[in-house]
Structure 1
């Protein structure tokens, strides 16, 4: 395993709190946008998280990959669904998306899935 997904998730969440202490309006605006985007409507949260996994892998955003793999599992996605969403991103992102999918994304699934019995 290269990077530790749990440490990355904790760093991201702690970073939001730290930056939010001095940039409350911006962090709250971002969190409000996330809350609105992930509100279940025509699509349930699980589907939105799977979309987010694919976008994260496509964009090669390491913290996004870790966060959205965790949130997808939390929303009920299986390991197979998460990896399939990542593989769709490979159709658009090619080799770089594959590289992140077979390393950090795979490691994130392995790290977090036991918490959700997946």
Structure 2
């Protein structure tokens, strides 16, 4: 399935959901609209942040959506790529931080096989 069709499918799905749960969908759109509105951070910056989170969460539809939105808010391809690189650094840093804490704790608590 093409990426555009996936984001279109999401939008269509939300439309169908709104038929059954209009208050919930409107509340969600109100909340996200407020979150992405210009403030101390520009809309472009917010979209780049959302892109990083979407990548970290392995959410394909949100990744495509936030790339499109970041570009529409004035982000360059280089800025999108740098946001992706930061997400990769945070993702690998997350694994490293858990490895040096939790794995080391687990290894330290083992009563057998210590070297």
Q: Is TM more than 0.5 here?
A: yes
Structure 1 stretches of at least 4 aligned residues deviating more than 2 Å after TM superposition: none
**Which of 71, 74, 77 does residue 76 from structure 1 map onto?**
74
Aligned length: 92
**How does 1:1-118 map onto structure 2 within 5 Å?**
3-94=1-92
Provide the rounded CA distance (Å) in 2 between the counterparts of 1:67 and 1:17: 16
SS in 2 for 1:77: coil
C-alpha deviations, 1:53-102, integer Å up to 9, x for none? 111111111111011111111101111111110110111223xxxxxxxx
Provide the rounded CA distance (Å) in 2 between the counterparts of 1:32 and 1:5: 25
> Which stretch shows the higher mean deviation, 42-51 or 85-94?
85-94
Provide the rounded CA distance (Å) in 1 between the counterparts of 2:74 and 2:13: 26
Provide the rounded CA distance (Å) in 1 between the counterparts of 2:48 and 2:16: 28
Which residue of structure 1 aligns with residue 106 of structure 2?
none
Gaps of 5+ in 1: 95-118
Provide the TM-score with structure 1 as the length reference: 0.74
SS in 2 for 1:60: coil
Structure (1 or 2) with the larger CA radius of gyration: 2
